[in-house]
Amino acid sequence: MQTFTLYIPYLGKKAEVSRFIYRLDNCNMSAETDDMVNGGGSKTTDSAARPSGAELDAGKPNPDISTAQTDGHRTAEAIGTAEAIGTAEAIGTAEAIGTTEAAGIVAPQRKGGRPTLKDIAYITGLGVTTVSRALNDAPDIGKATKARVRLVAQQIGYRPNRAGVRLRTGKTNVISIILNTEEEVMGMTASMLNGLAKAIGETTYHLVLTPYNLDQDPLDPVKYVVETGSADGIILSRTQPNDPRVRYLTEQKFPFVTHGRTNMGLEHAYFDYDNQAYAASAVAALTARGRQQIGLIAPPNFMTYSTHMLEGLHTELEKHNLVEVPIRNINTDSTANQIEAEILRIMMSKQPLDGIICASPHSAMAAIAAVETSGRVIGKDVDIVAKETFDLLNRFRPDLIVFEESFKSAGYALGKMVISIINGDEPSKHQMLENPKR
Mean pLDDT over residues 270-299, rounded? Answer: 98
Q: Where are the domains of the chain?
A: 2-159, 168-267, 275-404
Lowest mean pLDDT of 102-116, 358-372, 422-436, name the range. Answer: 102-116
Q: Could you give the C-alpha distances from 37 to 7, 17, 59, 269, 330, in angstroms and in order?
A: 13, 7, 31, 55, 73
pLDDT digits (tens, 9 = 90+) for 208-222: 999 888 788 999 999
Q: Which residue has the higher pLDDT, 354 or 1?
A: 354
CA–CA separation, 320 and 222 (whole Å): 44
**Which distant-in-sequence residues (6+ apart) come within 8 Å of 69 by Cβ?**
none
Instruction: Give the 3-state secondary structure of 335-354.
Output: CHHHHHHHHHHHHCCCCCCC
AA letter at 408: K
Determine the CATH number of domain 275-404. Answer: 3.40.50.2300
Indicate whether 192 pLDDT > 50.
yes
Mean pLDDT over residues 165-187, rounded? Answer: 73
pLDDT digits (tens, 9 = 90+) for 52-101: 434 433 444 433 333 333 333 333 333 333 323 333 333 333 333 333 33
CA–CA separation, 384 and 378 (whole Å): 7
Best CA proximity match to 286, nearest among 344, 336, 338, 357: 357
Mean pLDDT over residues 281-285, rounded? Answer: 98
Instruction: Give the 3-state secondary structure of 238-249.
Output: CCCCCCHHHHHH
pLDDT-derived band at 163 (thresholds 50, 70, 90) equals: low
Mean pLDDT over residues 414-432, rounded? Answer: 96
Pairing of strands 174-180, 206-212: parallel
* Percent of all residues in the chain with a pLDDT value above 70, rounded to a whole number: 70
Q: In CATH, what is the architecture of 168-267? A: 3-Layer(aba) Sandwich (3.40)
Pairing of strands 16-24, 29-30: antiparallel
Mean pLDDT over residues 159-186, rounded? Answer: 73
**0.85 exceeded by pTM:** no
Indicate whether 36 pLDDT > 60.
no
CA–CA separation, 183 and 214 (whole Å): 9
3 and 23 in contact (C-beta within 8 Å)? yes
Give the bridge partners for 177, in sequence order. Answer: 209, 235
Same CATH fold assignment for domains 168-267 and 275-404: yes
Indicate whether 430 pLDDT > 70.
yes
Question: Residue 132: what pLDDT?
Answer: 86
AA letter at 47: S
Question: Residue 394: what pLDDT?
Answer: 81
Question: Residue 3: what pLDDT?
Answer: 38
CA–CA separation, 355 and 291 (whole Å): 6
Count CA atoms within 13 Å of residue 42 on its CB side: 5
Lowest mean pLDDT of 84-93, 157-166, 357-366, name the range. Answer: 84-93
Best CA proximity match to 327, nearest among 360, 294, 302, 301: 294
Compute how many other C-beta atoms are within 10 angstroms of the C-beta atom of residue 308. Answer: 23
Question: Residue 168: what pLDDT?
Answer: 65
Q: Which residue has the higher pLDDT, 238 or 114?
A: 238
CA–CA separation, 407 and 271 (whole Å): 10
pLDDT digits (tens, 9 = 90+) for 293-308: 999 999 999 999 999 9
